[in-house]
Amino acid sequence: MSPRRPRLSLEEYEQGVRAANRTVLAQAITLVESRDEADGQLAQALLTRLMPATGKALRVGITGVPGVGKSTLIDTLGMQLLGRGKTVAVLAIDPSSSVSGGSILGDKTRMARLSVEPRAFIRPSPSGMSPGGIARRTRETMLLCEAAGFDVVMVETVGVGQGETTVSEMVDFFLVLMLPGAGDELQGIKKGILELADGIAVNKSDGDGARRARTSLSDLKAALHYLPRRRLTWATRAVAVSGLTGEGLDELWKLVEEHRAMLEDTGQFAAHRAGQQRAWLWALISERFERTFRAHPEVSRLLPQLEADVVAGRTTAPLATDALFAAFRLPRSDA
Ligand SMILES: Nc1nc2c(ncn2[C@@H]2O[C@H](COP(=O)(O)OP(=O)(O)O)[C@@H](O)[C@H]2O)c(=O)[nH]1
Ligand SMILES: [Mg+2]
């Protein structure tokens, strides 16, 4: 950890977070994100203490290509929710800003109204090196925000690679934003994401875009009939919205609430949250396992050459994996 950052005591972190002290909450998130081992131990102790205070927020994941209007929509929706007496935390994960932080600033200015509201909290996080563009500690950050008492936690991510799978595993409602007229994509890359979506919003349905958005919406609704359902009790629904004007956001939020009520009424909510916990466990196991594996002296000695051989086609990935696992001295998993 940076020597300039004073480390608070466990009690100070706990009390500060519980009291929704934003400075302490931000410091606690930095602690949780830290790769320093002592920080990691303190972070785990803090999460253990705060666990009983978590689980009460509505967790919403919002995904879509850069420029689709996620931040703008979150700003407007967040303001509407504040108007209804709710408190809102936003975790904005930005894959492009792991070094400079440049576009993170962009995100904060896109949420210009929300970012100055005392009952809102915005945390931009660089996704860094995590697979799929997910910040390494998004789950833990979400739990800290819950312990601070936020009613709604929104996670903004760019739908790239495997990332959206992970976010859909963390949230209660997974919303995919689309642009009007992006119909072709329905057939291809977007299909995988759409199958994970609880709701889809065709955004920028305003001005010149309104007509195209309506057309897209009916295409989308037709296409949704052919997608496999994620659960029997919920058919993915689509709405047209404008994050800029706020048009359709009421309907969108009703959808989120209806979905939540459905999970509770059908007794699926507890299982859903249990699934999130299980996914968290396995994410941590995978992460630690990979770290341990890479740090193994023999593995780290062989890895650069084997990786280069695989890339150049001199050996195959399965053979290289065999060699590495032999080096790691583990019985080979025949999966
Ligand atoms: N017309 C229109 N433009 C929008 C809307 N939402 C966002 N934009 C514009 O689209 C651009 C990208 O928005 P942003 O919220 O940063 O997208 P993000 O990358 O998905 O977070 C900005 O120039 C916004 O002003 C909308 O609902 N309607
Ligand atoms: Mg954004």
For residue 203, which atom of ligand 1 is closest to its CA?
27
Report the separation in Å between the CA atom of 331 and the middle of ligand 2, taken as the mean of its atom positions.
45
Query: Closest Cα to residue 221, out of 281, 178, 276, 189?
Result: 178
pLDDT at 291: 87
The answer to whether the CB of 186 falls within 8 A of the CB of 210 is no
At 29, list the tokens.
Answer: 């998130």
pLDDT at 134: 61
pLDDT at 223: 82
In this predicted structure, the answer to whether residue 141 has a pLDDT above a threshold of 80 is yes
Instruction: Write down the H helix ranges in the chain.
Output: 10-18, 22-33, 37-50, 70-83, 102-110, 138-147, 163-170, 183-187, 190-196, 209-224, 249-265, 269-295, 297-312, 317-328
Name which residue sits closest to atom 24 of ligand 1, judged by CA: 69
Q: Helix, strand or coil for residue 84?
A: coil
Going from N- to C-terminal start, the domains of the chain cover 1-52, 54-265
244 in contact with ligand 1, CB cutoff 6 A = yes
At 84, list the tokens.
Answer: 């209804």
pLDDT digits (tens, 9 = 90+) for 201-215: 999 999 988 988 888
Kindly report the pTM of this predicted structure: 0.85
pLDDT at 43: 94
pLDDT at 220: 86
Report the separation in Å between the CA atom of 201 and the middle of ligand 2, taken as the mean of its atom positions.
16
Measure the CA–CA gap between 115 and 24, rounded to whole angstroms: 17
- Give the whole-number percent of the chain exceeding pLDDT 70: 84
For residue 241, which atom of ligand 1 is closest to its CA?
27
In this predicted structure, the answer to whether residue 122 has a pLDDT above a threshold of 70 is yes
Q: How confident is the model at residue 196 (pLDDT cuts 50, 70, 90)?
A: confident
69 in contact with ligand 1, CB cutoff 6 A = yes
136 in contact with ligand 1, CB cutoff 6 A = no
* Lowest-pLDDT range of 114-118, 271-275, 281-285, 322-326: 281-285
pLDDT digits (tens, 9 = 90+) for 3-54: 455 679 999 999 999 999 999 999 999 999 888 889 999 999 999 999 999 9
Give the mutation target among 62, 68, 70, 72 for probing the ligand 1 site: most ligand atoms within 8 A of CB.
72
Measure the CA–CA gap between 1 and 44, rounded to whole angstroms: 16
203 in contact with ligand 1, CB cutoff 6 A = yes
Q: How confident is the model at residue 224 (pLDDT cuts 50, 70, 90)?
A: confident
110 in contact with ligand 1, CB cutoff 6 A = yes
In this predicted structure, the answer to whether residue 245 has a pLDDT above a threshold of 90 is yes
∠ CA 131-137-140, rounded to 5°: 145
pLDDT at 182: 62
Report the separation in Å between the CA atom of 306 and the middle of ligand 1, taken as the mean of its atom positions.
44
pLDDT at 294: 93
pLDDT at 193: 77
In this predicted structure, the answer to whether residue 75 has a pLDDT above a threshold of 80 is yes
CB atoms < 10 A from the CB of 155, how many? Answer: 27
249 in contact with ligand 1, CB cutoff 6 A = no
User: What topology is assigned to 54-265 in CATH?
Assistant: Rossmann fold (3.40.50)
Q: What is the mean pLDDT of the chain?
A: 86
* Lowest-pLDDT range of 30-34, 64-68, 185-189, 258-262: 185-189
Q: Which ligand is nearest to the CA of 97?
A: 2
In this predicted structure, the answer to whether residue 127 has a pLDDT above a threshold of 70 is no
What separation, in Å, do the N-terminal and C-terminal C-alpha atoms of the chain show?
39
Which residues partner with 175 through β-bridges? 62, 199
pLDDT at 98: 43
User: What topology is assigned to 1-52 in CATH?
Assistant: 1.20.5
Q: How confident is the model at residue 257 (pLDDT cuts 50, 70, 90)?
A: very high
pLDDT at 190: 60
pLDDT digits (tens, 9 = 90+) for 272-288: 999 988 988 888 888 88
For residue 245, which atom of ligand 1 is closest to its CA?
27
Mean pLDDT of 118-141: 76
Measure the CA–CA gap between 207 and 315, rounded to whole angstroms: 56
pLDDT at 191: 66
Measure the CA–CA gap between 279 and 306, rounded to whole angstroms: 30
The answer to whether the CB of 36 falls within 8 A of the CB of 69 is no
276 in contact with ligand 1, CB cutoff 6 A = no
Mean pLDDT of 62-69: 88
67 in contact with ligand 1, CB cutoff 6 A = yes
Which residues partner with 152 through β-bridges? 58, 88
